Structure 1
Amino acid sequence: MSDDLKQPDATLRLLILLARLTLTEAQRQAALTLCNSIASWPEVARRAERHLVLPLVYRHLHELAPPTLAPADICHMHQRALILVQRNLLVAGEQQRLVVEILDPLDIPYLFFKGPALAARYYDEPAMRSCRDIDLLVPRHRCVELLEFALQHGYHSLDPEALTPDRQSLTFAIRTQSVVSIASPSGVRIEVHHEIDRGAGIYQTEALLDNRVAYLAGDTLLYSMPTHELFVYICLHHTRHYWSHLHWLVDLDAIQHHPDFDETWAHACAEQRGLVSTYSACMEFYRALAAPEPESSVHLSQRSRDMLEACFTTLQGGFEAELALRFKRPTPEFGFTWQTSVAYRRASRIREWVRRFQPLYLDYQLLPLPPRWQWCYYVARLYRAVAKRRRIRWPAR
């Protein structure tokens, strides 16, 4: 570990150890030992909630029944966990409502990934998985139809704000954003994606939708990625965010313990996507986290050690620490240089340079132009970029 990295305290070590669906006997004993070092159980509950694992932590502690955990503390933890479980059930219900009331009637091909879709398929008790939003992938050419219908039936826009349901406005938003966020009538955030890798070319939306698999959530048929594809994707996504939430560690555990998971297929998928270094480091990282002091593992590669240090940094430093690490990303899609090639990083820099001159939905909001005149937005953004570079004052928008 780096000398300037603060060592995790007993509370964080306990939460990391409990961030899995089931505990081995060795892990149970290690957890009980860590419980003896806990100075404040309300602090454990607070941090478990902040790291999005409180329902699962409560379940484990209720089963372990450590002598140092007072009845009042476990009762408080239970009450907070119930509130979060109710929220998780609400999000899951909104996912099914989205299918029944919009996606199926419009016959739009789709798949869900992460969040309640992952919980429903891989968790023994789906409500244990904290879910704050719904991630939905649909073909780009069906996004306008989906958003128009949703905005006319009780949903409202979050990003871009004040998105109007007219087709010209929606078409422009889809062209300029890979994700449009809306809220359901009950306030659940839904991220509508038409690509899942920021245009990096790792994934093709049509191919993902062609290979989607069906599963039942209650009595509703939903679609998601095949298990091996989803596992590799979450390795990519969660590493991009430096494993800053503990429920992502549970995802690693839950999928690997599902009967559909095949490590050979997952490795082959990682090879196909050019993500073998990411996948292999995540597997090492996961195995190290099975111990109460993962940083002491002598078998960790430098890549997995980098991942572990970043995880500890973000878990202790919060969102500000994650933001600081983001500024060091070699590309927007990858958290570490060893995940990419020199050629890929060069291509990514070119993409990011070009993206700076792409119009934003705000440009359209300020001055809605018909399609034949929308090239003017590119000229305006280029002029503003040149003006900024030359330190010419430009009126605030």
Structure 2
Amino acid sequence: MRFDLSPEDRLCLILARGQLPPPACEEARALLARPLQWDRVLEQARANEVYPMLYRNLRYLGFAGVPASVRAKLEALFRMNALRNTLLADELTLLLGALSEAGIPVIPLKGLFLAESLYGDLTLRVCVDMDLLVPRRNMTQALDLLVARGYQAEFSRWFLTDRGMQNSFECAVRKRERTLDYRVELHWGLFWESSWEEGSIKDLWGAAHETIFRGVPVSDLSPEWQVVFLLVHAARHHWQSLKWLVDIHELCLRGGIGWETVETQMRELGWEPFLRWGLSVSHVLLETPLPPGFVVEMPPSSIRLFPAPPRFPAPLQDLLLFLRLAKQPSEKVLFLLRRLLLPTPGDSQLCRLPTSLGFLYYLVRPLRMGYLLCSSLWGAGFRGKDSP
């Protein structure tokens, strides 16, 4: 095992799970009977966004050995998250209903929908935004519907229709009501490269099934596509947050997954390493059950995993990781050209130009990417000097 865990980190790992089997309960009780640095436990629970599950499981264990002050802090965090998720769920229900009435197919991704379907309780997951997948052909219609409901986009509509879909798969809109920010991530794809995903997205919608979320009819991912999405999403965050890994763990525990289908989908996308790396990390940390014949293979050693604090990957790290996936030199060159030259909604947020000057985004993009990559190299250099 490549992880040297303190008692505090081990306790956080155990209590982050949705289910506590008897052996896990016994180990947790043994750890709770020892002197613990509770500030460390709270820090990890917050950083990895698993404090609702931590509170729920400690409550199940009777808060044995938990100082009153720590219990009060966890309860306050749990209640604030529950209130926020309830308000977000109300808004999500309204949005799903509006999209359904407009005849726009929609699949809620992760977040509140996953909390309710996977854990049976939308208060047990920390949710920052609402992720909605719609068909590419309905993207602008869905965006217009959100804008009509008070959401604001940080980019021009013409940019998204003309250029933004070429090198991206999502865009964000938001609105503020009283003290709460509502943020919606509107997806027309799940993955980065549209040339790879066209066929896979059709397969995804074909395998989706109808379900009900708080009285509203919606589509849901098949178990196989749910695994694919969670594995790729965890890879996007370099497997750094326990929240994403716990989702994968609980989905695998539920069973009913056609692993041959998952393997085929990942192979067709060219992302088999994400399957191997994601399941391996989840297995080593959370003892996730593995498919028959699966061989554990951890991600590159340069990637910092738990108990290291989560940190959003720098652009250079992202670039290097996905270059590793390209099998042919021509694929690597094509990937680099797409990432460095084709504009995205992020470029529009940086510099809003009128339609007549839209061609200038092809200059803004490489300048912005150059700045981000240089910043990544600069930051990596300083971290290298600070490390022992």
2:150 counterpart SS class = coil
- Give the corresponding residue for 2:61: 64
- Give the corresponding residue for 1:191: 185
The 1:191/1:40 distance shift into structure 2, 3 A limit, reads: same
For residues 181-330 of structure 1, what are the structure 2 equivalents within 5 Å? 181-186=172-177, 187-199=181-193, 201-204=195-198, 205-258=201-254, 260-290=256-286, 303-304=297-298, 306=300, 310-312=304-306, 315-319=307-311, 322-323=313-314, 326=317, 329-330=320-321
Structure 1 gaps of 5+ residues are: 292-298, 389-397
AA partner of residue 314 (structure 2): L
Q: Tell me which of 342, 345, 368 is aligned to 2:354.
A: 368
Deviations 1:149-170 (A, max 9, x none): 321321122xxx2x35xx5355
Q: Does 1:144 align with 2:151?
A: no
Work out whether residues 285 and 307 of structure 1, in 8 Å CA contact, stay in contact via their aligned partners in 2: no
Residue 115 of structure 1: CA displacement?
A: 1.5
Residue 303 of structure 1: CA displacement?
A: 2.3
Residue 215 of structure 1: CA displacement?
A: 1.8
AA partner of residue 336 (structure 2): E
CA distance in 2, matches of 1:367, 1:110: 31
- Give the corresponding residue for 2:169: 178
The 1:130/1:384 distance shift into structure 2, 3 A limit, reads: closer
Work out whether residues 214 and 223 of structure 1, in 8 Å CA contact, stay in contact via their aligned partners in 2: yes
Deviations 1:364-383 (A, max 9, x none): 9654135xx755654x5699
CA distance in 2, matches of 1:252, 1:288: 13
The 1:214/1:241 distance shift into structure 2, 3 A limit, reads: same
Work out whether residues 18 and 60 of structure 1, in 8 Å CA contact, stay in contact via their aligned partners in 2: yes
Residue 140 of structure 1: CA displacement?
A: 2.4
Residue 182 of structure 1: CA displacement?
A: 0.5
Work out whether residues 130 and 183 of structure 2, in 8 Å CA contact, stay in contact via their aligned partners in 1: yes
1:222 counterpart SS class = strand
- Give the corresponding residue for 1:347: 331
CA distance in 1, matches of 2:28, 2:121: 21
1:99 counterpart SS class = helix
Work out whether residues 151 and 174 of structure 2, in 8 Å CA contact, stay in contact via their aligned partners in 1: yes
Question: Normalised by the size of structure 2, how large is the TM-score?
Answer: 0.78
Work out whether residues 63 and 71 of structure 2, in 8 Å CA contact, stay in contact via their aligned partners in 1: no
AA partner of residue 368 (structure 1): P
- Give the corresponding residue for 1:88: 85
Q: Does 1:13 align with 2:10?
A: yes
Work out whether residues 232 and 266 of structure 1, in 8 Å CA contact, stay in contact via their aligned partners in 2: yes
1:136 counterpart SS class = strand
Deviations 1:297-344 (A, max 9, x none): xx99672265796322xx424316x43982673327xxxx4xx3531x
For residues 92-107 of structure 1, what are the structure 2 equivalents within 5 Å? 92-101=89-98, 103-107=99-103
The 1:10/1:329 distance shift into structure 2, 3 A limit, reads: farther
1:86 counterpart SS class = helix
CA distance in 2, matches of 1:32, 1:324: 42
Work out whether residues 32 and 66 of structure 1, in 8 Å CA contact, stay in contact via their aligned partners in 2: no
Work out whether residues 148 and 170 of structure 1, in 8 Å CA contact, stay in contact via their aligned partners in 2: no
Residue 32 of structure 1: CA displacement?
A: 2.0
The 1:278/1:381 distance shift into structure 2, 3 A limit, reads: closer
The 1:17/1:67 distance shift into structure 2, 3 A limit, reads: closer
Work out whether residues 100 and 217 of structure 2, in 8 Å CA contact, stay in contact via their aligned partners in 1: no
Question: Normalised by the size of structure 1, how large is the TM-score?
Answer: 0.77
Work out whether residues 280 and 297 of structure 2, in 8 Å CA contact, stay in contact via their aligned partners in 1: no
AA partner of residue 247 (structure 2): D
CA distance in 2, matches of 1:73, 1:206: 48
Of 351-360 and 107-116, deviating more is 351-360
Residue 54 of structure 1: CA displacement?
A: 0.7
CA distance in 2, matches of 1:142, 1:89: 28
Q: Tell me which of 123, 129, 132 is aligned to 1:127.
A: 123
Aligned residue pairs: how many? 358
CA distance in 2, matches of 1:382, 1:120: 39
Work out whether residues 246 and 282 of structure 2, in 8 Å CA contact, stay in contact via their aligned partners in 1: no
Work out whether residues 20 and 254 of structure 1, in 8 Å CA contact, stay in contact via their aligned partners in 2: yes
Of 223-232 and 28-37, deviating more is 28-37
Residue 42 of structure 1: CA displacement?
A: 4.4
Q: Tell me which of 17, 25, 31 is aligned to 2:28.
A: 31
Q: Does 1:41 align with 2:31?
A: no
- Percent identity for Structure 1 against Structure 2: 20
AA partner of residue 178 (structure 1): F
